[in-house]
Every structure is written in C-alpha cells, then in structure tokens.
Structure 1
Amino acid sequence: MKVFIGGYTKKTSKGIYQADLTIKDGQASLGNFTNCVELNGPTYFKKCGNYLFSIAKNKDEGGISFFQLNPVKLINSVFQPGASPAYLGINEDKHLVYTANYHTAYLSVYHYDNDGVSLVDQVKHDSFNLGPRPEQKDGAHPHFFDETPSGKLVSCDLGNDSVDFYDLKDGHLVHLARYLNEAGFGSRHIVFNKENNYFYVAGELSSKINVVKYNEKTWEFENIATYRTIPDDYTDHNGVAAIRMSNDGKFLYLSNRGHNSITVFKIKADHTLELVQRISTFGEFPRDFNWDSSEKWVIATNQNTDNATLYERNSEMGTLAVVQKDVAVPEGTCVVFSKE
C-alpha cells in the first residue's frame, strides 16, 4: 500500500513524498520514503487514479497543479496573484476541483480533463460577521470548500464563524444559506452524516466541535451541542485542524495542534457525542491525519517536528493504538493513501 505525504517546503522538503505501508502478519510499518513529486508548497492534495491534484505556490502566486503519475508528468498549473489555497476537494464524476483560499477569501471551482485544469467560477467572501479573536480581525478566511452528501457545496469560514452553502448553476456559484457558529469559534472543517441531516463543524480557534441538525430543503438549522476537543484544564494555545468521520458513522476524529493529539468521539444514536479517547501524536502541530480504505491504519503528520505517527484503529471501540512513531518526513500537512 502506498502513502503520499506533502506539506510546506520552507525548510528541507522538496514537495510530495511517497512511502510504503507494509502489512506483515497483521502488523504494519511505514517506511521507504522517496520524493515523488517536486513541487513548491503542496500543503493539501488529492489523488484520483493515476492523477494528482495539489495546491501549489509559484513565487507571488498561488493555485493548483495537475499531475499525471507513473511516470510523473505535470499536465498544467493554474495560478492567481496572492497566497495559495488552504483546501482542495475533488469530484471525479463531474471532473470538478474545489479550493478555499484562507488568505484571499476566494472560493473557486475548476474543471479538469486530459488537457488540464481550468477555472469555472469563483466568489469572494466578504467580512460580514468577523469574530472577536485576533486571527479574525483582518477579514474573511474560508478554510474549506467541498460537497455535501447531496452534491451541494459548503464552505467553512474561520474569520466569519460561518458555514455557507452554495449551488453550482450553469457554471456560476449561487449562495443558498448560512449557518453561524458562536463568536470566536473559528469554523475550519466540516463532515456530514450519510443521511445528510446532521453536520459536525470543527472550530479551530475555540478547540470545539459543534453538532448541528439541518434540513437541506428548507435550510433550517438547529444547534444541538458543542464539545471541547481538549481537556478543560489545558490552557496553552491550541488549534483544531482536521476532522474525519468513520464510514459507519459511529466515530469522529479531530487533530489538535498545540495539545498535539487526536481526539476521538463516539457518535451516539441521538447524534450527540461522547468522548472516547485523546491520544498523543508524538510530535508538534498535527495538521492532518488520514486512514486507508479499511480505516484500520491511521497516519498523523506533525508539521513542526518533521515526523509522522502510525496507529491501528479498533473499529468497534473507535480507539487508536500506536504502532510506529518518530517516522521522519519533512513538514507534513497532508496524508493520502493509495492502493496503487
């Protein structure tokens, strides 16, 4: 099994690295890292068959690059003035790519084919509801842009403490509805249940997760509950980063940058949460973590300490157990598994 890890290229990293996740006698090990794609700033990327789409940086411009793999070949890049996007999503059936740009406040939709990637439409978030925290005072900061289970589009805006829903009609983004988190929440990433009537928002600045019931036909929202991802007595700086839901809809996982941990919640029958575990990432600043298709093997990357940690996941209990730590990988911020 192959694993791809990319991130910042401010120190020693040259781009995206490929590693082997080897399973022998039921035990896993991660190793054999090689730089497979040389790229400036691939902080978030997605793999689609023999293609790879990545955030990229080119001097004073930011955008996305589209690669063929095996052998590696750059198909094309699309750049715009300013910082790179923070998030990239993909719909393989529609051949669409979505990006959210934290710094420029743009949400963008791209189309791709064998010839490359091209811009379809983009909108800019205004500073309509800026929160009270220092990170929010300079404007809107969309950090996520991707699809809901029904194919609508949704963004999370850290600056505005908002979750915004869109539709792509005739090649244009149309705003549909907005849900506001509590002031200072710092809305960052979001996941949905399969029934598409509940969503769970990760609050970067508040170190919280908000459970919301909603109706996509009427755009009515109900704030169900909010939970802290870190201990009540933890007072040092922390920022929630990635959030993932298991495919069976029973567990939620969030990474904590500062507390340097992954928090595990059980999703109860009424969609509220119960704390299951907090486990160290054995490094500093775990921006991302991910799992293989079986959701048994989990890898977390620690951006500031240039290392990764491998866990084994118990699907019944939801808990993580450390298998391997201190795996050297530079400036990792994104993890992608691949069977190829």
Structure 2
Amino acid sequence: MSQSLSRRRFTLALAGLGAATALSPLRAAQAQKGPLPRILCFVGGYTEHGPPGGAGNGKGISVFEMDRDTGFLTPVATFMDIPSPSFITLSRNRKFLYALSEINDYDKAGSGSVTAFSVDTRNGTLAKINTVSSGGAVPAHLSVHPSGKYLLVANYMGGSVAVLPIHADGSLGKATDVVHNSGPKQPERAADNPEGNFAISDHSSAHPHMIATDPSGAFVLVDDAGLDRVYVWKLDLATGKLIPAQKPFYDMEPGSAPRHFVFDHSGRVLYNLCEQNSKVVVSKFDPQTGAITQIQSVSTVTSHFRGSTLAAEILIAESGRFVYVSNRLGDSLAVFSVGMDGTLTLEDEVWMHADYGRAMMFDPSGSFLFCANQRSDSVTAFRVDRETGKPVFMNHFTAVGSPTTFAFMVADS
C-alpha cells in the first residue's frame, strides 16, 4: 500500500543513469545464479505546485516494485516533499539522485530549483541533501556530466542552461556558469507538418529542452525548442564554464522544435527528435570536432496519419537495432529499425492505450518499455520482442497523477 514519508527519509532505490550502470547488479546476480535483487521503478511528474498552467495531479515521487515476469508495478511509497519533480536522474555510482522542480518561484529571480538526495544502494534509503537554484525559470531537463563533477540543467522558460558543481558529498553548489541562448524568432509550426496538425510549439523565445553530453563526454549538446537550434559546447572541468564548439550551433527546420536526442552506441550517429513536426533528424556526429551533418529526416507517424500530434521522447534499444518515439495527441509509440548506416525505417506505430504519452524508459533487463501518460494519469507497460523490436501491450495501467519522468534501479543485495 502506498504511504507518505517524512521530509528527510525515504526508503527506496533509484534509477541507474545508463544501461551499464543499471544492469551491473542484475548481471552479477544472474552470473552467480543467486536470487535476483528487486527492481524498483520511480515516477515523478507535475504536482499542485507548478508553473502557471503546469500544475498537475501528482504527489511527488512515487515508487513501485516491478514484477520481473509481467512488468506489473506494485505501489510501495510516495515521497511528497518536492514540487513538480518532472525530471530525475542518478549519479553513475547510484549514490546520489538529482531532481529538478519545474517551477518559477524558488527565489526572487523567479527560477526553478534542483534538489540533491543521497541514496543507500543496499536498502534504498533516500535523504535530502540540499536544494539550489536551477539558474532559470521552469527547468525541463538535467543530466550528470560523465566526470561526475557537474550537473547540467536546461531551463525551458528561462531560456538558459546552467552548470552546477557537484561536491564530494553529492551536494550541489551555486552555478559556475549560466548561458542564455538568443536568436531570431521562429514560426510556431514547421512547413513539413503532418497533414492536419494544428499543434504548435512555443517559439516566443529561447526554450532549452534537453542538455546532455555525447557518449565520449567531450561535448555538451542542447536542444533549444524555441530557437530551433542544437547548441554544442565543451565544458572546462577546472572552471565549470561552457566553451562554444568550433561551430556553436546548428539550425534545424524552422518551427520544428528540437526536443530530445539520443546517440547510437558508437557515438557517431545522432538521433534528434523534433516535437512540433514529429520528425527524427538523423545526423552524423564527429566526436573530435562536435560537427553535426544531417543525413535523414523521417516522420514518427505513418503516412496514413492525419491530425494533430507532438512528438515527446526518443529511446534506443540496448541492442542498437531499434529506436522508439512517443507521440502525444496521436497517442502512439513509433518503432524504427536502424540500418547499417544509422538511418531509420518506421516499422510500426502502436497505440499507447492512454493519453499524452511523454517519457519512456526500458526497465534494467530491457524486457519492458514503460510510458508516462500525463493526461491519463497513468503508466502503461509493453513487453518488447528483442528480435523484432515490437512492443506488445501488457494490459497494465498504473495510476500516477500527471506522470512525466521515470527512473529504474536494481538494488544491491
């Protein structure tokens, strides 16, 4: 049964940042043929305390235990002492969790905030360490730099990206750098929309939507959905300052609203999901210079689709053979096969069985794919065929208020 917990202590285990980190305890247990440790799933989203127009039905961070055979999620607890934790991530050693609060009233400057938690990987105890400004209003995404020294934050309404130092105890310091993007105003819709798409993306100003490094950690990339650009920086590890790459940004289709990206396992192919026109832009990425060269643009909806849609999340399978995209409004899950050259072929479009699917994530075993359906206040689960890539709905609906983000973790035994 779900229960509310105190401000300072919360028994849980939280999601691994990368597949290798998340899978190591599971694989170790399998190799020893001993009892497998528990898999826990954590879901965050919008709470009553959110930005104007962004308040939701969530209570905070909800934790569930996942059944390994069915993917069924059983409620364990709810941590309520954080407003609108719409994105969370873990340090690579899983000792610290970082959760942004998608708000605009943390301080007098009207910024959002980021909270650091310590995590006991044996029993899952979570304790709040500290909370700091995100460096801008309404943060939308954060990631830990591979060095473990800095947390990177994208502030959507603030039009900025921030670098927060991570101290030895996992706590966060004041931003070492805050960069405000600027550029010409873009149209609300792209010219290559799906037919009948009336959905728009906010192009009133800069809106950084995702910040993360390439797999080598040499470059920091940012999708700016308001300026229709992909920015590329290097990070000075000594000063925590962002340094523009040789080519500091790349223009995308005007109005397309680049939202989230993922790399292939080689780090040389970049898949960039554009929200407004529901396209995946495939590019070659040079890990030496950070140069991006587009080679393909492919729709996330089938040719027979008509109407409004907004793409939301993009994932790549552990095998590297399939890419998955969630389509809001159209309420579908797009399945792409990956060619030898990295280009994509849309193989199927599966009904999400719920409304406004946003974040998606594989469980640590890679057997199940979960989707957070914001407007349906539910999480849906799919079993994924590793050979065909096809997701099969498991008829599981997990009730969660206004969900937007996932985290999984295999607990240490």
TM-score, normalised on structure 1? 0.93
For the structure 1 residues 219 and 289, does the alpha-carbon distance in structure 2 shift closer, same or farther, using more than 3 Å as the test? closer
AA of the residue aligned to 1:283? A
- Alpha-carbon distance, 1:39 to partner: 1.1
The correspondence for 1:38, drawn from 55, 75, 81, is 81
The correspondence for 2:319, drawn from 240, 248, 252, is 248
The correspondence for 2:157, drawn from 87, 100, 103, is 103
Aligned residue number for residue 327 of structure 1? 398
Distance in structure 1 (CA, Å) of the matches to 2:134 and 2:157: 12
Q: Does 1:13 align with 2:66?
A: no
Distance in structure 2 (CA, Å) of the matches to 1:265 and 1:321: 15
Per the alignment, in what secondary structure is the counterpart of residue 28 of structure 1? Answer: coil
Are 1:99 and 1:109, in contact at CA under 8 Å, matched by a contact in 2?
yes
- Alpha-carbon distance, 1:126 to partner: 0.6
Distance in structure 1 (CA, Å) of the matches to 2:104 and 2:266: 43
Which runs of 5 or more residues in structure 2 are unaligned? 1-38, 49-55, 107-111, 190-199
Distance in structure 2 (CA, Å) of the matches to 1:38 and 1:8: 13
Aligned residue number for residue 60 of structure 1? 105
The correspondence for 2:302, drawn from 231, 241, 253, is 231
- Alignment deviations for residues 14-72 of structure 1 (CA, whole Å, 9 cap, x no partner): 2000001012xx33321224203531010000133242110115661312011124433
Per the alignment, in what secondary structure is the counterpart of residue 305 of structure 2? Answer: coil
Structure with larger RCO (C-alpha < 8 A, sep 6+): 2
- Alpha-carbon distance, 1:218 to partner: 4.5
Larger % of strand: which?
Answer: 1
Q: Does 1:201 align with 2:259?
A: no
Aligned residue number for residue 166 of structure 1? 233
Aligned residue number for residue 75 of structure 1? 129
Distance in structure 2 (CA, Å) of the matches to 1:219 and 1:65: 31
Distance in structure 1 (CA, Å) of the matches to 2:90 and 2:135: 25
- Alpha-carbon distance, 1:292 to partner: 1.7
Which runs of 5 or more residues in structure 1 are unaligned? none
- The worse-fitting range, judged by mean Cα deviation, of 145-154 and 231-240 is 231-240
For the structure 1 residues 275 and 89, does the alpha-carbon distance in structure 2 shift closer, same or farther, using more than 3 Å as the test? same
The correspondence for 1:87, drawn from 141, 166, 190, is 141
Are 1:312 and 1:320, in contact at CA under 8 Å, matched by a contact in 2?
yes
Distance in structure 2 (CA, Å) of the matches to 1:12 and 1:233: 34
Aligned residue number for residue 4 of structure 1? 42
Distance in structure 1 (CA, Å) of the matches to 2:149 and 2:290: 27
Are 1:162 and 1:187, in contact at CA under 8 Å, matched by a contact in 2?
yes
AA of the residue aligned to 1:121? D
AA of the residue aligned to 2:373? N
Aligned residue number for residue 335 of structure 2? 264
Q: Does 1:116 align with 2:183?
A: no
Aligned residue number for residue 26 of structure 2? none
Per the alignment, in what secondary structure is the counterpart of residue 182 of structure 2? Answer: coil
- Alignment deviations for residues 215-242 of structure 1 (CA, whole Å, 9 cap, x no partner): 2434544321111111334333211111
The correspondence for 1:303, drawn from 346, 371, 374, is 374
AA of the residue aligned to 1:30? L
Distance in structure 1 (CA, Å) of the matches to 2:80 and 2:339: 42
- Alpha-carbon distance, 1:136 to partner: 4.2
Are 2:302 and 2:349, in contact at CA under 8 Å, matched by a contact in 1?
no
Are 1:131 and 1:159, in contact at CA under 8 Å, matched by a contact in 2?
no
Per the alignment, in what secondary structure is the counterpart of residue 357 of structure 2? Answer: coil
The correspondence for 1:51, drawn from 74, 96, 99, is 96
Aligned residue number for residue 209 of structure 2? 143
Aligned residue number for residue 22 of structure 2? none
Per the alignment, in what secondary structure is the counterpart of residue 201 of structure 2? Answer: helix
Are 2:118 and 2:170, in contact at CA under 8 Å, matched by a contact in 1?
no
AA of the residue aligned to 2:42? F
The percentage of aligned residue pairs carrying the same residue is 26
Distance in structure 2 (CA, Å) of the matches to 1:337 and 1:203: 26
For the structure 1 residues 127 and 136, does the alpha-carbon distance in structure 2 shift closer, same or farther, using more than 3 Å as the test? farther
Distance in structure 1 (CA, Å) of the matches to 2:75 and 2:101: 24
For the structure 1 residues 138 and 27, does the alpha-carbon distance in structure 2 shift closer, same or farther, using more than 3 Å as the test? closer
Q: CA RMSD in A?
A: 2.0
The correspondence for 2:221, drawn from 151, 154, 161, is 154
For the structure 1 residues 58 and 206, does the alpha-carbon distance in structure 2 shift closer, same or farther, using more than 3 Å as the test? closer
Number of corresponding residues = 338
AA of the residue aligned to 1:16? I
Distance in structure 2 (CA, Å) of the matches to 1:287 and 1:57: 15
Distance in structure 2 (CA, Å) of the matches to 1:198 and 1:156: 16
Are 1:29 and 1:324, in contact at CA under 8 Å, matched by a contact in 2?
no
- Alignment deviations for residues 120-143 of structure 1 (CA, whole Å, 9 cap, x no partner): 212111124634535344111110
Distance in structure 2 (CA, Å) of the matches to 1:80 and 1:273: 35
- Alpha-carbon distance, 1:291 to partner: 0.8
